[in-house]
Amino acid sequence: MRVAPNIYLVGSGVQGCGLTHDLDCNCWLFDAGGSLVLFDTGAGLGVDAIFAAMHEDGLSPERLSHAFLTHAHGDHSAGASEIKRRTGCRIVCSQLTADLLANGESAFSLDVARRAGVYPDDFVYLTPTPDHIFSGDEPLAIGHLAIQPVPTPGHSLDHFSYLIRQPGLAALVTGDAMLHSGRIIYQNIYDFDVLKSADSIRRLGTLDFEALLPGHGIFVRHGGRRHVDAAIADLDRLRTPRPAEFVAL
User: In this predicted model, what pLDDT tens digit does every residue of 147-182 receive, in sequence order?
Assistant: 999 999 999 999 999 999 999 999 999 999 999 999
Asked if residue 78 is part of any domain, the answer here is yes
> The dihedral of CA 222, 227, 230, 235: what is its sign?
negative
pLDDT at 135: 87
Strands 169-175 and 160-166: antiparallel
Asked if residue 249 is part of any domain, the answer here is no
Asked if residue 245 is part of any domain, the answer here is no
Q: Which domain holds residue 201?
A: 2-236
Asked if residue 243 is part of any domain, the answer here is no
pLDDT at 247: 57
Please give the tally of structural domains in the chain.
1
Ordered strands of the 36-39 beta sheet: 2-4, 7-11, 27-31, 36-39, 64-68, 90-94, 132-134
Asked if residue 246 is part of any domain, the answer here is no
Question: What CATH number has the domain bearing residue 100?
Answer: 3.60.15.10
- Measure the CA–CA gap between 27 and 12, rounded to whole angstroms: 6
Q: Is 52 helix (H, G, I), strand (E, B) or coil?
A: helix
pLDDT tens string 179-199: 999 999 999 999 999 999 999
Per-residue pLDDT of the chain (249 residues; tens, 9 = 90+): 999 999 999 999 999 999 999 999 999 999 999 999 999 999 999 999 999 999 999 999 999 999 999 999 999 999 999 999 999 999 999 999 999 999 999 999 999 999 999 999 999 999 999 999 998 888 999 999 999 999 999 999 999 999 999 999 999 999 999 999 999 999 999 999 999 999 999 999 999 999 999 999 999 999 999 999 999 999 999 999 999 987 555
- Measure the CA–CA gap between 178 and 1, rounded to whole angstroms: 22
- Measure the CA–CA gap between 102 and 42, rounded to whole angstroms: 19
